[in-house]
Amino acid sequence: MSKAKTIVAAPPLVIDDTNLSRAWARLLLKVLDGAGTEVAPLVLSLTSFREDRSAVEDPAVRQALDRLLKRKGRLVVDDVAFTIFPQRLWEMSRGDRTRLFALYRATFPRWQAMNRKANGRGLYFERIVMYGRGPCDGNQLEWILSQYNSRTGVRRSMLQATTFDPGRDHVASAQLGFPCLQQVSFEPTAAGLVINAFYATQQIFDKAYGNYLGLTQLGAFMAHEMGMPLARLNVMVGVAKLERITKSAADFAPLVAAARAVVAPPAAPAARSLIAAATAGAML
């Protein structure tokens, strides 16, 4: 093939931010303002978490997204995040991971039964801690933590957990909603714990925000158990796509406005002074 006819794959979209809402808004606007409905590939990275290891968010974006998700009959952000990490159960466990795992095992059948169509193949946290085989009765997080905390110099390739299982997931179905998340890995660094997540595909509207929140919560849990701060979340996505909502949908407008507001750079001090002076003059 001649050079003139060579087709080069698109470069990755790299989003590096300190605010979860703004990072997701930048992804959303990239699709809305461009051609098509996909980004391939995507690398999204978050850092600068709060002292309690939680993500920094913008309430206006989060609330606008949750309102629209409810209107469209989708899971709200917290419910999507729960599929990756059961934050409510962790809070109930009061820092006891053994209790967390026991609570999850006891209640998982209920979560699955609540939406058998969506959850019939499992949930991400269930795959991570109840994989079905392997050490610690398939609890990959317990294996990672027990090995890491037992000695120094644990090989870094050990600190990873998988959700994709060829024995269960290599099926010929035309569409398969689970699992899109393939794997997570954990990297202790001088700055703290770095968590890496790998997605084959990701739904920008339905799932992405909740995915990032759930991964942050999973990373915070692991950082807590490993005795270090959470330093960074990296998410690698083969194809991020906007589905089941059109760019021109009328009820999309409030969410898009909130996204544009959080992404917009703050007004310069001089500009703010001019605005204040003009406003004061208009009130005379």
Give residue 2's pLDDT. 54
Alpha helix locations (H) across the chain?
20-32, 59-71, 77-84, 87-93, 97-114, 116-119, 124-129, 140-150, 166-169, 209-226, 253-263, 269-283
Can you give the residue range of the structural domain that contains 61? 9-283
The reply to whether 3 falls in a domain is: no
Q: In CATH, what number is assigned to the domain containing residue 181?
A: 3.30.572
Give residue 3's pLDDT. 58
Give residue 270's pLDDT. 61
Give residue 120's pLDDT. 67
Give residue 92's pLDDT. 97
Sequential pLDDT tens for the chain (284 residues): 455 678 888 899 999 999 999 999 999 999 999 999 999 999 999 999 999 999 999 999 999 999 999 999 999 999 999 999 999 999 999 999 999 999 999 999 888 887 776 666 779 999 999 999 999 999 999 999 999 999 888 888 999 999 998 888 788 876 767 789 999 999 999 999 999 999 999 999 999 999 999 999 999 999 999 999 999 999 999 999 999 899 999 999 999 999 999 999 887 666 555 545 554 544 44
The CA distance from 64 to 170, in Å, is 37
The reply to whether 181 falls in a domain is: yes
The reply to whether 2 falls in a domain is: no
The reply to whether 1 falls in a domain is: no
Q: Rounded to the nearest 5°, which phi and psi values hold at 15?
A: -120, 115
Task: With beta carbons less than 8 A apart as the criterion, state whether 221 and 90 touch.
Answer: yes
Counted domains in the chain: 1
Amino acid at 186: F
The reply to whether 89 falls in a domain is: yes
